[in-house]
Amino acid sequence: MRSARQFFKPLAIGAPAPLLDIPFRPSRMIHFFDPSNPKMAAKVPSLAKRCDILLGNLEDAVASDRKVAAREGFIDVARSTDFGSCQLWTRVNSLDSPWLLDDISHIVAAVGDRLDVIMIPKVEGPWDIHFVDRLLALLEAKHNVTKPILVHAILETALGVANVEAICAASPRMQGLSLGPADLAASRRMKTTRVGGGHPSYLVRADPDPAAPQAHRPSAQQDLWHYTLARMVDACVAHGILPFYGPFGDIRDTVACEDQFRNAFLLGCVGAWSLHPVQIELARKVFSPPIDEVLWAKRVIDAMGDGTGAVMLDGKMQDDATVKQCRVVVGLARMLAETDEALSAAYGFDAPPQVSPRDDAGVSAADPPVAAEGP
């Protein structure tokens, strides 16, 4: 294990110093685009105005004969687009693939200064992050990249889940994790062919009625992903990094997608992947705190004064712990409202934006919105 003193020193001479805290900017959706598809690439400038994060995908869903075109297309888009407050990420090919080395080295050389985060698929343990960490430091030094490129890992193998805490702790570059339900299902030999969401056969059934044992017994579908998602959220928060739900593959089923996103939001995720423009709006809605919750949370914060003691509000007990819950909600709302006038008005915030959207010195993942909060 590296000593605490070494942990925040650059891994290559001339590389930028690692960040002490992971910046937390609006991250409600990571919208995927295929940079090998010129039609999709042409839509990036307008998507950048609607998305918190745009990700050029080089990995799965890009055919092997399109890998080089995707990498080059991503570099073109990164060079030619004004992303404004939208973050720019890429998902590179897996660490054992023939494309990974060129993906990382060409992209950092060409657009390392424009890139916020590199997403690494199929991460199995801290050794995978250590490899990427050193490689990025060498490339940053070589190409005079001044801001450290952060790393996001997809949790999508059984071994990765077993090592989730060690992955989060592996490097100060670790920005967050996404759940990858498709690869994870395959790795675990789960018997579902869906990408995320529930399964009608994964259920709990009511006991039989002794007086009518043949009568219909209601059942309720359960969440296949609850255990992994909850484990991922704890690991991320414990290490000051950000948890995301991943893809929901049934694009037409916007109802179930919204439910899956909301479960993730309620459990602590900051955002989810969007695979189609329709999912951008779903994620924006779900991962922005509901207006009535924000208004209620503001009332609790006001009523609690210095945040200690207990008060009753509409028959509900409030104390030091509930005021912290409310600060999480209001803090997130306030951060999102800084770049969204409609949300700001809906939440009843009258203060003008104080922080520029690209100001990385703002809220960090170690103290997500709570620290930025003010009633």
Considering CB under 6 A, how many residues would be counted as binding ligand GLV?
A: 10
Residue 92: CB atoms within 10 Å: 24
Choose the one of Mg ion, ligand GLV, none that binds residue 112, judging by a C-beta under 5 to 8 angstroms depending on kind. Answer: none
Choose the one of Mg ion, ligand GLV, none that binds residue 246, judging by a C-beta under 5 to 8 angstroms depending on kind. Answer: ligand GLV
34 binds Mg ion (CB under 5 A): no
Among 23, 56, 112, 180, binds Mg ion (CB under 5 A): 180
Could you give the CA distance from residue 203 to residue 247 in angstroms, rounded to a whole number?
22
Nearer to Mg ion, 59 or 338 (CB): 59
Amino acid identity of residue 194, one-letter, is R
DSSP string, 292-356: HHHHHHHHHHHHTTTT-S-EEETTEEE-HHHHHHHHHHHHHHHHHHTT-HHHHHHHT--SPP-S-
What is the smallest separation between the CB atom of 270 and ligand GLV, expressed in angstroms? 17
Closest by CA to 338, choosing from 367, 372, 371, is 372
Is residue 49 classed as helix, strand or coil in its secondary structure? helix
CA 235 to chain CA mean position, Å = 13
Question: Contacts with ligand GLV in 142-161 (CB under 6 A)?
Answer: 154, 156
Helices (H) and strands (E) in the chain, counts: 15, 12
Q: Which residue has the tokens 């050193």?
A: 134
Which of these ranges, 105-113, 181-189, 199-207, 263-271, lies near ligand GLV under the rule CB under 6 A?
181-189
229 binds ligand GLV (CB under 6 A): no
Is residue 228 classed as helix, strand or coil in its secondary structure? helix
**Bridge partner list, 177:** 153, 243
Question: Contacts with Mg ion in 183-222 (CB under 5 A)?
Answer: 183
183 binds ligand GLV (CB under 6 A): yes
243 binds ligand GLV (CB under 6 A): no
Question: Contacts with ligand GLV in 41-80 (CB under 6 A)?
Answer: 60
Nearer to ligand GLV, 182 or 256 (CB): 182
34 binds ligand GLV (CB under 6 A): no
Choose the one of Mg ion, ligand GLV, none that binds residue 363, judging by a C-beta under 5 to 8 angstroms depending on kind. Answer: none
**Bridge partner list, 316:** 313
Among 247, 271, 368, 369, binds ligand GLV (CB under 6 A): 247
DSSP string, 151-211: EEEEE-SHHHHHTHHHHHTS-TTEEEEEE-HHHHHHHHT-S--SSSS--TTSEEEPPPBTT
Nearer to ligand GLV, 181 or 289 (CB): 181
Which of these ranges, 142-150, 180-188, 209-217, 233-241, lies near ligand GLV under the rule CB under 6 A?
180-188
Nearer to ligand GLV, 197 or 369 (CB): 197
Closest by CA to 260, choosing from 185, 183, 198, is 198
Nearer to Mg ion, 35 or 180 (CB): 180
Nearer to ligand GLV, 217 or 226 (CB): 226
Choose the one of ligand GLV, Mg ion, none that binds residue 247, judging by a C-beta under 5 to 8 angstroms depending on kind. Answer: ligand GLV
Nearer to ligand GLV, 110 or 177 (CB): 177
Which of these ranges, 72-80, 112-120, 177-185, 357-365, lies near ligand GLV under the rule CB under 6 A?
177-185
Could you give the CA distance from residue 95 to residue 113 in angstroms, rounded to a whole number?
22
What is the smallest separation between the CB atom of 179 and ligand GLV, expressed in angstroms? 7
198 binds ligand GLV (CB under 6 A): no
Could you give the CA distance from residue 369 to residue 49 in angstroms, rounded to a whole number?
23
Is residue 233 classed as helix, strand or coil in its secondary structure? helix
Q: To 10 degrees, the CA torsion angle through 322, 323, 325, 327?
A: 170
By CB under 5 A, name the binding residues for Mg ion.
156, 180, 183
By CB under 6 A, name the binding residues for ligand GLV.
60, 154, 156, 180-183, 195, 246-247
